[in-house]
Amino acid sequence: MEEKKHKGVSRRDFLKTIGGGAIGSAVVSTGLLDTKEAEAYPIEVVGTRRGKSAVTLKVNGKNYRVDVEHRETLAEVLRDQLGFTGTKIGCDRGECGACTVVVNGRNVYSCSHLAVWMEGKDILSIEGLGKGEKLDPLQEAFIEHDGPQCGFCTSGQIMSGKALLLRNANPTEAQVRKALSGNLCRCGNYNREVAAVVAAASKAR
Ligand code: FES
Ligand code: FES
């Protein structure tokens, strides 16, 4: 019998690709198609979504539906697809903290988390801190205390500070230092960054 072809993919080709035994039992167990019917309705492969998933990311209080490659990190999707470029990528391997965002109240390295893991989680980036023209007290404190030097690490430092203040509104200086210890500053401006977080906490009291 001449085999039917559809868009260049025959059922025989398909069976060869995925294993005839598996599809045979799938056809039987679903009860939807017997073998003859399946031959008459070959499977059409539509699009090339292999390796991609649609996920909903809640960023700064708004939901975004995005197609992400399974290998893409949260940092890449925030920057390249959603335009939140305040999240910086320094080392891209979980060492410097420049990419820090807050996920479900915890500071995380967004370069070290896949975007597909983020479905349903509450993501806060530096862009979500201020309200319109009004800066977050932490941002104001960083300005007042000269927290940014070159500024490359600043958004990550602020987000780690934010995560700390969310769980502890009244931290000691030692607690602030510990909370920022995963954020490297190549300008060595640690004392001012710590002072800014301490000041923001005392302002809020
Ligand atoms: S860029 Fe993520 S930790 Fe350095
Ligand atoms: S201010 Fe330059 S890296 Fe921290």
Residues ≥6 apart with Cβ < 8 Å to 10: 3, 4, 42
From 73, 108, 111, 152, the mutation candidate for ligand 1 (largest count of ligand atoms within 8 A of CB) is 111
Query: Would the pTM of this model clear 0.85, i.e. be above it?
Result: no
Residue 105 has pLDDT above 50, yes or no: yes
User: If you classify domain 49-93+109-123 with CATH, what class do you get?
Assistant: alpha beta
Ligand 2: lining residues by beta carbon, under 6 Å: 148-154, 185-187, 189
From 99, 100, 154, 181, the mutation candidate for ligand 2 (largest count of ligand atoms within 8 A of CB) is 154
Question: Can you give the residue ranges of every domain in the chain?
Answer: 5-40, 49-93+109-123, 129-205
- Cα 205 to averaged position of ligand 2 atoms, centre (Å): 28
Residues ≥6 apart with Cβ < 8 Å to 15: 23
3-state secondary structure of 45: coil
How far is residue 5's CA from residue 88's CA, in Å, rounded to a whole number? 50
Question: pLDDT tens across 5-62, in order?
Answer: 433 334 344 334 333 333 333 333 333 445 565 566 555 444 445 678 899 999 999 9
What percentage of the chain has pLDDT greater than the value 70? Answer: 75
Architecture of domain 129-205: Orthogonal Bundle (1.10)
**Which atom of ligand 1 lies nearest, measured to the CA of 96?**
4
Question: pLDDT tens across 190-203, in order?
Answer: 999 999 999 999 88
